[in-house]
Structure 1
Amino acid sequence: MKTSVEFRIYVGTYAKYNDGSLFGKWMDLSDYIDLKDFYQACLELHQDEKDPELMFQDWEYIPDFLISESSLNEYTFEYLEEVTGMDEDRARALEIYCKDIASWPDKDKYFQELLEEFNDCYHGYYGGPMKDPQIEYAYQYVEDTGLLTDVSPTIERYFDYEAFAKDLFMDGYTQIEGHVFADY
């Protein structure tokens, strides 16, 4: 199932807020083509002020690394367009990757570079019936690589998937909320 959330921001101004007014409007980012278009609409909303200092008082479904109380990251629209086409698990994985692994936004990296790195290192969501994503991934890894293909069934029964998973995730893989990423 693809992500179908509305990325919204409640936009007021510091002057109005300081005067005790919460006047503003919820603005759905899908109504704007880019950051410039969004900011223009915000300024039009608050055209009663000479030089409005925008204040993002609340937001929905926008990761914190993309927004602050007074600005949006330059790649916000690219990011939101990308996750809109993803299923929920993959969209959550990209958010985790950007926030916890790649420490984005990185001034030396463009969003497309970061997305390529994510696509290379993301190995999927392992939150299934085993209840332990690392062991579940270890089983999948063994199957995908054919690690035990030439081993007799008698010996294969003694393979310790728990120990193997522990080794995989000590050096080479990271698991966050069931999402598995290669460490490269």
Structure 2
Amino acid sequence: MLKIFISNLKEYNNGKIIGEWVSLPCEGLEEVLNKISNNGNDELFISDYETDISNLKISEYDDILQLNEIAEEIDNLSDDELIAFQAYLEQYANNMEQALEEVRQGNYRIYYNCDNMEDVAYQAVNESGLLDGVPEQVKMYFDYEAYGRDMDINRTFIQIDNSFVELY
């Protein structure tokens, strides 16, 4: 969910708040922009926004039409892709285009239901079969906490809620 409040800059500077909340993506956005800007005669800016996408930041002077296109792409992301997108936003300091491109390329791996890197290490070891064939008496001495710490040092992980996203 992404909503922005689009304001008329000239009217704002004159002490009036002329604008409206718009949920993105919005099909009739150009008509809304024309209405608020007096048919393109006045400059517009984004005076507020609301979103449930963590790490997403909107600037006052972001290109509203481009933001609408990006919102449409975000709207079409799967749940996994949205988690990865949020991680890339944190990694790339809110560069939405770059984050979307990385998600499109599938350059991530999500570890679900993890509170810490020890949990991530446990999943990674079990899925990779790293300890397959090792006797149980030896497996119980494996240090998942240390392995997780090394994973965190050597790779890039971003925590989003109760998941860790590994970025490639």
TM-score by length of 1: 0.72
Q: Does 1:176 align with 2:159?
A: yes
Alpha-carbon distance between aligned partners in 1 of 2:87 and 2:66, rounded to the nearest angstrom: 16
Alpha-carbon distance between aligned partners in 2 of 1:111 and 1:127, rounded to the nearest angstrom: 23
TM-score by length of 2: 0.78
Aligned match of 1:21 in 16, 19, 29? 16
* Change over 3 Å in CA distance of 1:104–1:165 after alignment to 2: same
Alpha-carbon distance between aligned partners in 1 of 2:137 and 2:69, rounded to the nearest angstrom: 52
Which residue does 1:124 correspond to in 2? 110
Question: Match for 1:174: what amino acid?
Answer: F
Unaligned runs of 5+ in 1: none
Per-residue Cα deviation, 1:153-176 (whole angstroms, up to 9, x for no partner): 111111110011011111023233
Aligned match of 1:76 in 67, 74, 87? 67
Which residue does 2:147 correspond to in 1? 164
* Change over 3 Å in CA distance of 1:105–1:148 after alignment to 2: same
Alpha-carbon distance between aligned partners in 2 of 1:14 and 1:169, rounded to the nearest angstrom: 46
Which residue does 1:56 correspond to in 2? 46
Unaligned runs of 5+ in 2: none
| SS of match in other structure, 1:31 | coil
Given that 1:78 and 1:111 are in contact with CA atoms closer than 8 Å, whether structure 2 keeps it comes out as: no
Q: Describe how 1:7-156 pairs up with structure 2 within 5 A.
A: 7-32=2-27, 38-47=29-38, 51-61=41-51, 63-64=56-57, 67-72=58-63, 75-86=66-77, 90-97=81-88, 99-103=89-93, 105=95, 113-117=101-105, 119-121=106-108, 123-128=109-114, 131-132=115-116, 134-156=117-139
* Change over 3 Å in CA distance of 1:14–1:78 after alignment to 2: closer
Offset at 1:86? 4.3
Per-residue Cα deviation, 1:104-145 (whole angstroms, up to 9, x for no partner): 538xx767633234x222x225444xx32x111111101110
Alpha-carbon distance between aligned partners in 2 of 1:11 and 1:74, rounded to the nearest angstrom: 12
Offset at 1:92? 4.2
Alpha-carbon distance between aligned partners in 2 of 1:22 and 1:176, rounded to the nearest angstrom: 39
Alpha-carbon distance between aligned partners in 2 of 1:180 and 1:23, rounded to the nearest angstrom: 41
Higher strand share: 2
Aligned pairs, number: 163
